A and B are shown apart, each in its own frame.
Chain A
Amino acid sequence: MKNGTQLTIRSLREDHPVYPDLVRLGFLPGESLLLGPRPLWGDPVMVSLRDRWYLLRRSELEAMDMEEIG
């Protein structure tokens, strides 16, 4: 998925190690995310949730079941 893609969180995987952190920071079902830049190598990606930017690994994004918006 490209920089600028908008996503909606459908559900969270509660068995994922990063789940408590996602909930603590407000990554909840129904929230919208905007994908930001990612480096040429490696898999971290910047994600904007509400009015903040977060840095996540792709493996951490997998803790969320998401769908692309329009």
Chain B
Amino acid sequence: MAAGSSSPTSSSPLFGNASTTSPRVLLAGSPNSGKSTLFNQLTGMRQRVANYPGVTVDLSEGKSLIDGQWHTVIDLPGTNSLNTGSPDERIAIDCLTAEDNSETITVNVIEAARPNEGLTLAWQMAAFGRPQVVVFNFIDEAEKRGVELDASAIEGALGCPVVLTDSIRGRGIEELRIAISRARVERCFLLPLDYPEAVDHAARGFADKMLTHTGQRPSLALARRALLDARSSCGESEWDFASREAALDDGRKTIWKAGLHPYVLETRLAQKRLKQLRHENILPPQLPAHFHPLDRQFLHPLKGPVIFLAIMALLFQSIYSWAGPAMDGIETLFGWLGGVAGDFLSGTPMLQGLVADGIIGGVGSVVVFLPQIVILYALITILEDVGYLSRAALLSDKLFSWCGMSGRSFVPLLSGFACAIPAIMATRTIDSRSVRHTTALLAPMMSCSARLPVYVIIIGVLIEPRFGAFWAGISLLGCHLIGAVVAMGASWIWQRVQNRKSNPIHNTLLMEIPPLRRPKLSNVWHRVSTRAVDFLKTAGTIILAVSILIWAAATFPQVHELPPGAEATTVEEYQFEQSYLAQTGKAIQPIFDPAGFDWKLTVGVVASLPAREVIVATLGTIYGVADADEEHPGLRQALAADTWTEGPRAGQPVLSLASGLAVIVFFAFCMQCWATVAVLWRELGVRSATYAFFGYTAFAWVAAVAVYQVTAALTGIH
């Protein structure tokens, strides 16, 4: 059955050279319909999945062996319609409407419990003349709700293969492979919508004008989309604005004259057909939206905010409390390793120092934070999987709307507590360009897991010994809130500036709330283990290299005897004071002196510009070398015991309340992550990324100085 009227004309830049590629399978459908889990099932890969819109904001590609032939499977961002929405939806729409010479099968994934809605997109896609398969996913969930689907009856009505799957449990995956193969070989097309002649007439007129102005003629399907989509970008880049707008206006007027509404028409046609299918008992009756019993608690006007605050408090409290035994275990392990290595290499003092103080001391001081990072990631993944983050958007909208963001900003920003990179990517779900820009630029202010070791060390020195683990946990929550509070303040100022320029920020909230789902443990395990492996890789590469460099700089030049008149009491102390590291640190320390950082902290801050967690390894190595003649006391104890040796602060602790807060504030704001800068560059452009890097770093310095000076003046301790 031939369908659609698109005539393939050129290869698409979205997919590369079509002629050399294997058949492609595009996974399309509404957000939360389970495309990414289906992708994982088909390809055996591990695409990130979560229960909120916008997890897939980029194209993911994998290979799947279908009927003896390799197919390229592409997981598209979720979209409800081919009408243009947020940037992530545009990516999906561009792929679905691209005209190319490739052999492409579209798999339209629909939530089985809500079978009616997703078909609108399937019918819109049918106009582009590609073989299709319709998948009703999460069939187990639908059956529990009493929704019964007859795949063969629906297939007869739609005209293309229909498969029932449960992507979480792997049900129906083999049937899906067979259906994809059948759709490709037998050229199975979905019956398209019956567009009135007035629409096609207007579309042909628009296509003619585009040919005249640009030399390119769009297919009838694309020209229709241009007229029926209020935000269409068809011909935008090659056509001058005024004549394109005039052509669109003319086309839409033709449709209006026929008594049709161009923007509403397709949805009306789709609804009419759905009604007919329900009337013929091919589709089940439409159930009212399911309201989960837990939603009565999560969204309750009083209980909801209490639960929200309790979850946030539990999140940070558990990071501090639950990780303790595992951290102690790792610390003991590395202490033992250092001891064994030290004993084994006692005949070669230089090598002994390198292995025990440089490598084991430096890397061990970072690896010890692995349990906390694992707990943070696991808890955030569970919140994402359950679908709680979208509920939190309802509760947090007020928090964000006053400063020009919205509840939509909450999901990427909370993800930023795990890592800024997916958070910046997730801002693609935000329609408004300015709100998206603001949210992406502020996402690095959320305290990511790489900042955790820094906070934990400072809290471990200043708070925990005096006030206990409970207040240490509360302090950790406070550290994470600093960035969020300042981010909102910055957004408010930005909004005021934009409004003054008579360029008010258009900020909408409208978003779909996904159903609550039980978290999938394998997904939680996968995300947590991936992050843990990444963390260990960083520890084994960048941090190992920096540790060796820092050790070498702290060990050379070698001094073998104490010169007369030296202030140091031992050769080791004198050698450390004269090392290249000490000399460099002392040379640059004046920059950070107003923030109360001594030369060792300054070296740590500078060394951690590529990645924040490097400071811990740097300090671990420095204190390991400095205390080489003593039993290794652990970084926290070494920092707590360290005092200024010279200057007006001589004898005072290096890590006082003032300098400790200054370190926290500096790390809360400084852009010490090259990977984040690179993603900002890609998403927002080089100018924004450059401004962000220098702006954040300068702001961090100013804030650290201000916090130090004010706290020192209040406490009288510098």
Contact = CB atoms under 8 A, between A and B. Distances in A.
A55 B116 contact: no
Contacts of B230: 19-20, 23
B390 interface: yes
Contacts of B290: 51
Contact of A44 (B81, B114, B291, B394): B394
B431 A23 contact: no
A51 B117 contact: yes
Interface string A6-30: 0000000000011111111110100
A54 B116 contact: no
A39 B394 contact: yes
Q: Which of A21, A40, A54, A60 has the most CB of B within 10 A?
A: A21
Nearest to A50: B286
B246 interface: no
A11 B545 CA distance: 65
A21 to B, nearest CB: 5
Contacts of A50: 116-117, 286, 289
A4 B85 CA distance: 29
B508 interface: yes
A54 B506 contact: no
Interface in A25-70: 25-26, 28, 34, 36-44, 46, 48-57, 60
Given A39-B394, A44-B407, A55-B393, A18 B510 contact: yes
B142 to A, nearest CB: 11
Given A21-B85, A39-B304, A60 B512 contact: no
Contacts of A51: 113-114, 116-117, 286-290
A26 B117 contact: yes
Interface stretch (B294-302, B581-589, B660-668): B294-302
Contacts of A49: 289
A23 B267 contact: yes
Contacts of B289: 34, 48-53
B126 to A, nearest CB: 18
A11 to B, nearest CB: 11
Contacts of A24: 80-81, 83, 85
B460 interface: no
Contacts of B305: 39-40
Contacts of B116: 50-51
Contacts of A44: 393-394, 397-398, 407, 509
A54 B513 contact: yes
B71 to A, nearest CB: 30
B450 interface: no
B301 A38 contact: yes
Interface in B700-718: none
Contact of B394 (A18, A26, A55): A55
A50 B512 CA distance: 12
Given A28-B264, A50-B116, A50-B286, A17 B397 contact: no
Contact of B510 (A25, A37, A41, A52): A25
Contacts, number: 128
A26 B265 CA distance: 11
Contacts of B407: 44, 55
Q: Which of B268, B286, B289 has the most CB of A within 10 A?
A: B289
A48 B117 CA distance: 13
A49 B395 CA distance: 20
A52 B110 CA distance: 13
A23 B264 contact: yes
Interface residues of B, number: 48
A34 B288 contact: yes
B231 interface: yes
B120 interface: yes
A60 B431 CA distance: 14
Contacts of B263: 19-20, 23
B401 interface: yes
Contacts of A37: 295, 299-301, 304, 394
B271 interface: yes
Nearest to A26: B267
Contact of B397 (A23, A25, A40, A42): A42
B340 interface: no
A34 B288 CA distance: 9
A44 B391 CA distance: 11
A28 B305 CA distance: 33
Contacts of A25: 80-81, 510, 512
Q: Which of A18, A26, A36 has the most CB of B within 10 A?
A: A26
Contacts of B393: 44, 55
B511 interface: yes
Contacts of A22: 510
B264 A55 contact: no
B431 A21 contact: yes
A66 to B, nearest CB: 15
Contacts of A54: 510-513
B141 to A, nearest CB: 13
Interface string B443-460: 000000000000000000
Nearest to A51: B114
Nearest to B82: A24
Interface in B196-241: 230-231
A46 B299 contact: yes
Nearest to B432: A17
A50 to B, nearest CB: 6
A60 B511 CA distance: 11
Interface in B249-275: 263-264, 267-268, 271
A32 B398 CA distance: 27
Interface in B40-62: none
Contacts of B508: 17-18, 21, 57, 60
Contacts of B397: 39, 42-44, 55, 57
Contacts of B513: 46, 52-55
Contacts of A26: 117, 120, 267, 271
A49 B117 CA distance: 11
A42 B295 CA distance: 18
Given A17-B506, A39-B394, 14 more contacts: A20-B263, A28-B264, A38-B394, A42-B395, A46-B394, A51-B114, A51-B287, A51-B289, A53-B512, A55-B511, A57-B397, A57-B406, A57-B508, A57-B510
Interface of A: 17-26, 28, 34, 36-44, 46, 48-57, 60
12 contacts: A23-B230, A26-B120, A36-B299, A38-B394, A42-B398, A43-B398, A51-B113, A54-B513, A55-B511, A56-B510, A57-B397, A60-B508
Nearest 4 pairs between A and B by C-beta? A42-B398, A48-B289, A40-B301, A53-B513
